[in-house]
């Protein structure tokens, strides 16, 4: 019996890893607010992404990994 094809593996993507400074975070939040059209859950998710980005940036700074 032929086995079904295995799906292509995916790599986890975390947007927060790509928001590297306050200007990028502010631009991301502004874009999300514009696209949300009043959807509080959408804006909440954006704020959670920014919170994670701040924590990642703090961790990189404490480890001396500036702008990697």
pLDDT digits (tens, 9 = 90+) for 22-35: 999 999 999 999 99
**pTM for the full predicted model:** 0.75
Q: Alpha carbon of 27 to those of 7, 9, 63: distances in Å?
A: 35, 31, 26
pLDDT of 68 above 60 = no
């Amino acid at each position: 019996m032929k086995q079904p094809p295995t799906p292509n593996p995916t790599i986890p993507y975390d947007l927060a890893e790509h928001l590297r400074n306050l200007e990028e975070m502010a631009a991301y939040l502004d874009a999300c607010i514009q696209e949300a059209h009043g959807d509080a859950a959408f804006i909440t998710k954006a704020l959670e992404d920014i919170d994670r980005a701040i924590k990642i940036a703090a961790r990189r700074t404490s480890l001396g990994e500036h702008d990697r």
